[in-house]
Structure 1
Amino acid sequence: MDHSAKSDDNKAKYEVTKDSNGVQQVLLRNPRGASVKVSLFGGQVVSWKKENGEELLFTSSKANFKPPMAVRGGIPICFPQFGNRGILEQHGFARNRMWIIDENPPPLHPNDSKGKSFVDLLFTPSEEDLKRWNHSFEFRLRVALDFDGYLTMISRVRNINCKPFSFSIAYHTYFSISDISEVRVEGLETLDYLDNLQQKERFTEQGDALTFESEIDRVYLSSEDVIAVLDHEKKQTFVIRKEGLPDVGKLKFPS
């Protein structure tokens, strides 16, 4: 089912399909052949492919795509809680709820629309969710794929009843990499981090770049807005740019 607008480049362009369990997925494509696939279960990006068809995201061979189990792979949305830092289940409940497509989303800015396809997904809590976390909200997630194959995700949380509340949010991204010994992360130099393998004790990163020789499970605090993940074997670099999110959480190996 094609939802592309023929006359307005600023409108959403996507195709709706279903996975093997009957869950709707949104397929975004750019003119060069790159693609992104987003499941309405969890609002989760489950695939991001380059124009040559190479998959950029990892999904576990043991992943269960049948609701209500959260999918281990892609880019799960952690909301309204990250990890076990709160009263809810691990990473909150947004990642294992059904989202809906906004058929009439706000348009892209004219200067940002060329060759870009996008979709807006919406999530609001059910009555059962409100019994466990009594805050009314609307979560809007925009997933966009531009002409050069770059993936952008924008989250907006709207307070519906104006009662103040706090939340945490994370894009729990699983990158597809080669041998972990060939990977390094740059942009974390001198940052403080919480080590989940040592009861969340706080340390300071000492190295010029983070490499992986043993198990790591950390949350880096107040990070820069640009982080790079370099895969020397694949000769590939993931550049992560963020706005409005203070920390990098979490870096974990093995995943």
Structure 2
Amino acid sequence: MAVEQVKGLNGLEKVLLKDSTGCSAEVYLYGGHVTSWKNEKGEELLFLSNKALFEPPKAIRGGIPICFPQFSNLGPLVAHGFARNRIWSIDTDPQIAPTPNSSGSFVDLILKPSEEDSKIWPHSFEYRLRVEVGPGGILTLTSRIRNTNPDGKSFSFTFAYHTYFSVSDISEVRVEGLETLDYLDNLQERKRLTEQGDAITFEGELDRIYLQAPRKIAILDHEKNRTFVVIKDGLPDAVVWNPWDKKAKAMSDFGDEEYKHMVCVEAGAIEDPVTLKPSEEWTGRLQLSLLPNTHVGGSLDLPNAL
């Protein structure tokens, strides 16, 4: 178990986390951004574009960008807010105890608004983020956002962990756990529809916000014979996104063919913004794990697998 702060790309500071089994993660202070998560074999589990720019103020393409205080363009700010474009600090007073008896490693980061931030979003806040690699290589991100407004005013925000998973071939991927749910289709001006399939599969561009999604979601990668399990707390919604070929070619920091090897499944609080009164705190937690595929009738048996 180890925590090490080193220089990353373009001299940006990053923190390396490693658990006792050799599983690891790396977190850039720029954006509070997890850019790598590897299993004990050293296999990369997150997608990071080969064209990703580590050049502030450009956001890093891939890994786990943090969307705060606004998801997408659902509000007056730039798409996905400003947290992913800011330099975070190591939190020396995280006000949260370490996980008892953990064999993993973690880092605590904190973001407070700059004068520039206060001009575009006139609220005072403390955003504390813990990133932990725990037993079995489980990656946990815990966000705690507190309203520190001195004027007694509440504020509201939307949020997402914009997680990019590395997959062998998007046409062989299934996302399970979102069946029968209502979703907002971003390709149809957020028209509200209902999921009809027994799983989400990919044959073209897909960009949906699933509403009131269950706590557990599975991403089955048949070619690699493994399953990612997403567990979320305090995050009622889930976004599923793949840009497909045309949109991939339109992004300067994304390879033309890279859409084949990634899928975003994002835990978020999107449809109903979170509102905090002064001194109130919100917690949103994401836990990612990797399992060998467990099939029951062709689909993952989530309760038994977990």
Provide TM-score, normalisation by structure 1. 0.92
Distance 2:9 2:196 in 1: 46
Partner deviation per Cα, 1:77-113 (whole Å, 9 max, x = no partner) = 0000000000000100000000000124332242xx3
Partner deviation per Cα, 1:22-70 (whole Å, 9 max, x = no partner) = 1110111001111000000000000001111100011111110121110
Question: Is 1:190 matched up with 2:176?
Answer: no
User: Which residue matches 1:170?
Assistant: 160
Question: Is 1:153 matched up with 2:107?
Answer: no
- Deviation of 1:251 after TM superposition, in Å, equals 2.8
Whether contact under 8 Å (1:218, 1:252) holds in the other structure is no
Distance 2:8 2:135 in 1: 26
Letter in 2 for 1:126: S
Partner deviation per Cα, 1:191-240 (whole Å, 9 max, x = no partner) = 00111111111100001101111111111111000000000000110000
- Deviation of 1:14 after TM superposition, in Å, equals 1.3
User: Which residue matches 1:122?
Assistant: 110
Instruction: Describe how 1:23-102 pairs up with structure 2 within 5 A.
Output: 23-102=12-91
Determine which structure has greater relative contact order: mean sequence separation of CA pairs < 8 Å that are 6+ residues apart, divided by chain length: 2
Letter in 2 for 1:168: T
- Deviation of 1:163 after TM superposition, in Å, equals 1.8
User: Which residue matches 1:209?
Assistant: 199
Bigger fraction of residues in helix: 2
Whether contact under 8 Å (1:172, 1:250) holds in the other structure is no
Distance 1:117 1:137 in 2: 26
Q: Aligned Cα RMSD in Å?
A: 1.2
User: Which residue matches 1:8?
Assistant: none
Instruction: Describe how 1:229-244 pairs up with structure 2 within 5 A.
Output: 229-244=219-234
- Deviation of 1:20 after TM superposition, in Å, equals 2.7
Partner deviation per Cα, 1:123-180 (whole Å, 9 max, x = no partner) = 0110111011101000001101112100001100011124201001100011000111
Q: Which residues of structure 2 form unaligned runs of 5+?
A: 245-258, 260-306
Letter in 1 for 2:207: D
Q: Which residues of structure 1 form unaligned runs of 5+?
A: 5-12
Distance 2:92 2:104 in 1: 17
Distance 2:195 2:48 in 1: 29
Q: Secondary structure at the match of 2:241?
A: strand
Whether contact under 8 Å (2:3, 2:18) holds in the other structure is yes
Distance 1:96 1:209 in 2: 34
Distance 1:22 1:97 in 2: 15
Distance 1:184 1:204 in 2: 17
Letter in 2 for 1:229: I
Provide TM-score, normalisation by structure 2. 0.77
Q: Secondary structure at the match of 1:148?
A: helix
Whether contact under 8 Å (2:207, 2:239) holds in the other structure is no
- Percent identical among aligned pairs is 61
Q: Secondary structure at the match of 1:224?
A: coil
Q: Secondary structure at the match of 1:241?
A: strand
Moved over 4 A (4+): none
User: Which residue matches 2:130?
Assistant: 142
Distance 1:133 1:198 in 2: 29
- Of 110, 119, 127 in structure 2, the residue corresponding to residue 131 of structure 1 is 119
Bigger fraction of residues in strand: 2
